[in-house]
Chains A and B, each alone.
Chain A
Amino acid sequence: MYGRKVKLRFFFILLILLTLILSAFLILKSLEENVVYFQSPTEIQSLSEVDKKKIRVGGMVKVGSISMEVKEVKFVITDFKNDINVIYSGVVPNLFTEGKGVVAEGYLKDKNFFLATKILAKHDENYMPPEVKAALEEK
């Protein structure tokens, strides 16, 4: 027979292993569901079908494109190659200005219309989201 000590150790290690596997499984599954991908207007144009998942779109706010109404703000995000129209109702960050970088989070209605649920705040006038920078450099 094994002693109490050995049995306990064994049980303990088994428990830890099970917990580890369980939590790894949970985390990975949740990651899969909750990750938000970043896309540029050009990437959206080249999509074969429009996905229902939440995404982020980034680029520049096209000059002269902002129009405001009581309920919503409309503007165009451009990467100087392709454009996408954005319809947004919510808080507009202070540094949201025509001709500056922007990242909007939300859902695609089709390839030309994006329903934003959030415009990400930036904290610095010179700051450009790394995604936007990369997207602009690619062109």
Chain B
Amino acid sequence: MASLIGYYSLIFGFCFSLLIVLFSIKNFRNTNIFDNKIIFLTFMQFSFVVLSFLGLILSFVYSDFSNQTVFNHSHTTKPLFYKISGTWGNHEGSLLLWLLVLTLFIFIFLLRSKEQTKQYRILTLLFQQIIIIGFYIFVIKTSNPFNYIFPIPSEGLGLNPILQDPALAIHPPILYLGYVGSSIIFSSTLAATTLNYISKEWAKHIKNWILVSWIFLTLGILIGSVWAYYELGWGGFWFWDPVENVSLMPWLALTTLLHCILVLEKRLALTSWVVILSISTFTLSMCGTFLVRSGILNSVHTFTNDPDRGLFILIFLFCLIFLSLFIFFFFHKDKTQLSNNFFWLSKETSILINNWFMMYFLAVVFIGTVYPIFLEVITSEKISVGPPFYNKLIIPFLVPFLFAMTIGPKLKWIKSELRNKFNLITFLIISLLLSVLIIKSLNISFLLNSLLITAAFYLFFITLRDFFTRKFENLSQSISHFGFSLLILSILFNNILSTEIITNLKIGETFVTKKFKINFEKIEQKEEQNFKAIIGKFSVENSKGNIEILNPELRIYNQPNIVTSEADIKTNFLTDKFMTMNLVQNQDYFNIRYQTKPLMIWIWISVLMISLGGLKSLIKKKYEN
């Protein structure tokens, strides 16, 4: 029943798309006043998608196995929370979520853009409807979440256990708010280009949308990364896996755009660049969806390998790119006044330098992700590009990038001189001394590390000082940049100071190294709703004689029958102690991994700070308006 309602709501919503297009075109041609009927229609469209989504959720909650999506991804013994989150934990449901966010955002956009001109609002709506209609067709044709199966199975196939996790329940919605949020930026940029509407006011208005999707994208990536850290059991937080890269690419583009839009807002410069970035941000989000959904990349996120779906997104993607290029080349008039009064030492130059680095990072990630696919298609040679590639290409360039990030905000618009030279130099010397001191005491390789640590400390101190001296002027920027310096520092020290022991132990055995003594005391069994748990009890004694008890878990799920290992992590502000236990079939040995990971929590906190800066900027805007 719920399925049926869901399905018909989907169809109705699609009909509303056509109505909206019809009314919009009529309104665009005829009158000068924005027809409020259109807002009502968008609201109706959104409501129908919500209804459809609720229908799917209810089917999941009541385990209605006549629905194919529910049958494939749910099970009666699954806890209620994961029944609900299972709604978007699969291909069909997650596309419905895309649609939900698409319609929600255009509705909010129409409500919040009343001071803009009618033509611009309607055109943005039209471009957004093109995307929405594309997704409607995609959902209904190739991935209908409400397919009916008969005879009705009595039990479902269950959700992949590693997706049964609180972090991963909220990861997709948050990430999608970021991904799909860029669709509004895309539509409105195309509309503004067509109407030659790009101006300082437009920049100010679209900046909020950029901020919103940037914040969500940052948080979405953060949650995914935290999940990977504790659930996948490798003890790392970023693997340069193609699926992670696919979310990093729009983030890089969006971050660049966020900086550029400031230049546009203040100086009406870099207009073409802003248009290109807006288009590429959304294109990269779509690209991500394509790569993940087509089954070209293989990971948790690739739910099924259906070439039809991949092909459809690819064609749709090309249409959108073609449309935006067409608009860019035929309608765009560059209003940039940059070269009239352009000086090397100014805020806009420093932002431009920042842009170059970001584009370089983006290119590295893009090539590392796409090249293996490309090569396989051309030569059928199978390769993979691992972390060394990214580390080697990105890390050295972080040094100048960090310096530019430190000096840049100190400069003024148009033409500037370095103020407070004394302070800047003093802090540089302090950071340099500090990093040399640290490197000497840790006894690690010198050149790159010392440069990196110096640069990161430099940014850290200068932004920290800003909190006290700048009297909260430009606070949001200080928070984000401070967060970034903290992130780099935490990652650096985390990398340098992490230790790891991997061994195979039987119950009752003890493993001794110079630093630790690991004692595998016993295992206990526990029955839960949909899994059996084997809990290991380990005591780890360090060289000072402190004993820590760790209880990593193995979970044997009933449906699907999969074993997962739950790491036990003891966190404090200095370091994480991380232990996982694995069992190999028919063996007495347990495979044990024990790690100490310093400053882990600061990696999460710093990313939170980065997005907090964005939030601060958004709230400030609200007050001023």
Contacts and interface: CB of A to CB of B under 8 A. Distances in A.
Contact of A125 (B392, B560, B565): B560
A73 to B, nearest CB: 7
Contact of B580 (A69, A91, A125): A91
A106 B557 CA distance: 31
A38 B520 CA distance: 37
Interface in B534-593: 554, 560-565, 580, 582-589, 591, 593
Contacts of A91: 233-234, 502, 580, 582, 591, 593
Contact of A66 (B356, B363, B584): B584
A9 B561 CA distance: 64
Interface stretch (A23-31, A44-52, A79-87, A108-116): A23-31
B151 interface: no
Given A27-B363, A91-B233, A36 B502 contact: no
Contact of A23 (B363, B561, B563, B564): B363
A45 B155 CA distance: 46
B499 interface: no
Contacts of A36: 383-386
Contacts of B563: 94-95
Interface in A81-127: 89-98, 121, 123-125, 127
Contacts of B505: 70
A69 B505 CA distance: 8
B384 A23 contact: no
A19 B589 CA distance: 54
B582 A93 contact: yes
A90 B594 CA distance: 11
Nearest to A122: B298
Contacts of A27: 363-364, 367, 393
Contacts of A97: 584-585
B385 A31 contact: yes
Contacts, number: 117
A50 B90 CA distance: 43
B340 A5 contact: yes
A123 B162 contact: yes
Main SS at interface, chain B: mixed
A34 B386 contact: yes
A96 to B, nearest CB: 6
Interface in B316-346: 339-340, 342
B398 to A, nearest CB: 14
Contacts of A95: 562-563
B339 A5 contact: yes
A73 B593 CA distance: 14
B494 to A, nearest CB: 18
Contacts of A2: none
Contacts of B580: 91
A129 B563 CA distance: 18
Contacts of B383: 35-38
Contacts of B502: 89-91
A123 B564 CA distance: 9
A19 B356 contact: yes
Nearest to A98: B585
B367 A129 contact: no
Contacts of B511: 70
Contacts of A30: 389, 392-393
Interface in B223-252: 232-234
A27 B298 CA distance: 24
A69 B580 CA distance: 18
A72 B583 CA distance: 14
B438 to A, nearest CB: 28
B298 A127 contact: yes
Given A56-B384, A73-B504, A91-B593, A66 B587 contact: yes
Interface string B101-134: 0000000000000000000000000000000000
A44 to B, nearest CB: 14
A8 B339 contact: yes
B43 interface: no
A17 interface: no
Interface string A37-75: 110000000000000000010000000001011111100
Nearest to B502: A90
Contact of A94 (B234, B382, B560, B582): B582
B360 interface: yes
B160 interface: yes
B371 interface: yes
Contacts of A90: 502
A23 B394 CA distance: 11
A14 interface: no
A131 B384 CA distance: 11
Given A35-B384, A70-B505, A91-B234, A9 B589 contact: no
B389 A70 contact: no
B300 interface: yes
B381 interface: yes
A123 B300 contact: yes
Contact of B562 (A9, A125, A130, A131): A125
Interface in B381-423: 381-386, 388-389, 392-393
Contact of B504 (A69, A93, A131): A69
B503 interface: yes
B299 interface: yes
Contacts of B504: 68-73
- Residue from B372, B580, B585 with most neighbouring chain A CB atoms (10 Å): B585
Contact of A92 (B381, B382, B554, B584): B584
Nearest to A89: B502
A35 B339 CA distance: 42
Please list the 7 inter-chain residue pairs (A to B) with the smallest Cβ-Cβ separation, ordered nearest first. Answer: A38-B382, A34-B389, A68-B589, A92-B591, A123-B300, A94-B563, A34-B388
Given A34-B392, A125-B561, 18 more contacts: A5-B340, A19-B360, A26-B393, A27-B367, A34-B386, A34-B388, A35-B385, A35-B389, A38-B384, A66-B587, A69-B504, A72-B504, A91-B502, A91-B591, A94-B565, A95-B562, A95-B563, A129-B298
24 contacts: A19-B356, A34-B386, A34-B388, A35-B389, A37-B382, A37-B383, A66-B586, A66-B587, A69-B504, A70-B504, A70-B505, A73-B504, A90-B502, A91-B580, A91-B591, A92-B584, A94-B564, A96-B584, A123-B160, A123-B300, A124-B160, A130-B382, A131-B382, A134-B382
